[in-house]
Amino acid sequence: MKKLLSLFLVLALLLSLSAVSFAGEKKVLRVASWDTLTGGYLAATETAFEEAFPDVDLQYVDIASQDYFQKATTILAGGDNVDVIDIKELSDVHNWVEQGYVESLDPYVEKDQYNLGNYLGLENNYRADGALYGLPYRSDFWVLFYNKTLFDAAGVDYPTNDMTWEEYAALAEKMTQGDGIDKIYGSHYHTWLSAAVCWAVTDGKYTLADGHYEPLKYYYDLVLGLEDKGVVQEYSELRAANLHYSGVFYQGKTAMMPMGYWFAATLIDEKAKGTFDFDWSFVSVPHHPDIAAGSSFGSITGSAMNKNANDKDLAWQFISWRASEAGALAIAKVGTRPGYVSESVAQTMAAAEGFPKDDNAKAALVPTAMSLEWPIGEHVNAIKTIVNEEHTLIMTREVSVEEGIEAMNARVAEVIGQ
């Protein structure tokens, strides 16, 4: 028995050794990212990259999405030699630059004469003191998703790309039906600050770090008004139940929902899996009367090079490929919107299986203007905390909109004045 066991152990050891030596023939590239196990665009990236470079073995280092920045920073601080580190939020990379964890990409861009012309200038957000620290591979902006089947059943026209917020509110009211557990809401706001009031930044001038928050009032009044009319679910109930927006949409509980474009890829995926069977599509988010139709806000996602990278040339090979047209096409095929913008990328996206077939959705793929949700700056993290705290008070109606905005102004002024 003992002999058998030791024989088995020796065999197991040999097998694991041979596995190591087999993988050792390829160059190993380690990329830290989040949600790497759920497939989607990361799996598509891996397949396409390894096809293009058969001598490389791409391995993701999975970091929990919720605390991505904290955990990724800890990995970098520990001196890990992961090659590429993904940038979830813009502020992440600026913190890492400040802390000296990431390598400037300028020498590589210069060496390869790499063309930065296809990112609508968004790559400049990855610059610190003029030096480039990241390349965008994804760019998500907010759109208005809607449940086509519900609109068809109600005999109401679909939303359009040029609605104002008032028109949208009226449409949402029209689409609200039923009572109690069978109630279908006209629209749905997730509990994030961005879903409710970030629209104020779509004029391209105002930012949430400016220190005055009067522009948010219009949007608070709109959301709270819709709550009062029973057109959208109450914020405090959604918070208490900790409900995720996807479930609400999958169950056909809402006719419309403003959400980031990333949700399109999820919808394509989940519909293919049979999670729901209604038709969906999207249009541009509604606009304030003073702001041009088709304006939206969003975020960019990119990758940076670890200063401690095991193989910096390999890291650049991946970062540059991923942000190029080849990488963009691989991502666009699964319905995710790449940072690289071109006609062929847009066509690939619209041709993705499960992508809505109407022209409005195709047109909405390219916003007329795109602002960033949060700008970069020294106090942004502290301001975020304050604005979010006061936001919960306004949305739970513990304070009036005016009081809440006044508190935001006062508290942010203290931080900026420090």
**Site residues (CB under 8 A) for another protein?**
67, 70, 73, 77, 95, 98-101, 234-237, 239-242, 381-382, 384-385, 389-390, 392-393, 396, 398-399, 414, 418
Give all strands (DSSP E) within 49-134, no chain letters.
Answer: 56-63, 84-87, 102-103, 127-128, 131-132
Q: How far is the CB of 328 from another protein (least distance, A)?
A: 32
Give the C-alpha separation, 191 to 96, whole Å: 29
CA dihedral 37, 319, 300, 326 (to 10 degrees): -90
Residue 32 CB, nearest distance to another protein (Å)?
17
Nearer Cβ to another protein, position 385 or 400?
385
Which residue lies nearer to another protein by CB, 49 or 101? 101
Shortest distance (Å) from residue 179 CB to another protein: 14
Contact 272, 144 (CB under 8 A): no
Question: Closest by alpha carbon to 75, among 88, 66, 58, 62?
Answer: 62
- Cβ atoms within 10 A of the Cβ of 241, count? 9
Least separation in angstroms between residue 394's CB and another protein is 9
Paired with 103 in beta bridges are 305
**Token pair in block for residue 280:** 């969906």
3-state helix, strand, coil in the chain (%, to 5): 50, 15, 35
CB count in 10 Å sphere of residue 13:
10
Smallest distance from another protein to CB 325, Å: 35
Among residues 100 and 155, whose Cβ is nearest to another protein? 100
Contacts of 109 (CB under 8 A, 6+ apart): 116, 132
Q: How far is the CB of 374 from another protein (least distance, A)?
A: 13
The nearest distance, CB 96 to another protein, in angstroms, is 9
Single out the residue of 303, 299, 314, 308 nearest to residue 33, CA to CA. Answer: 303
In the complex, the smallest distance separating the C-beta of residue 356 from another protein, rounded to whole angstroms, is: 35
* Cβ-based nearer residue to another protein, 73 or 275: 73
Q: Which residue has the tokens 């006609």?
A: 343
Distance CA 360, CA 16 (A): 54
Comparison of 72 and 291: residue with beta carbon closer to another protein:
72
* CA-derived radius of gyration, the chain: 24
CB nearer another protein, residue 310 or residue 392: 392
Between residues 195 and 330, which has the closer beta carbon with respect to another protein? 195
Kindly tell me which of 101 and 262 has the beta carbon lying closer to another protein: 101
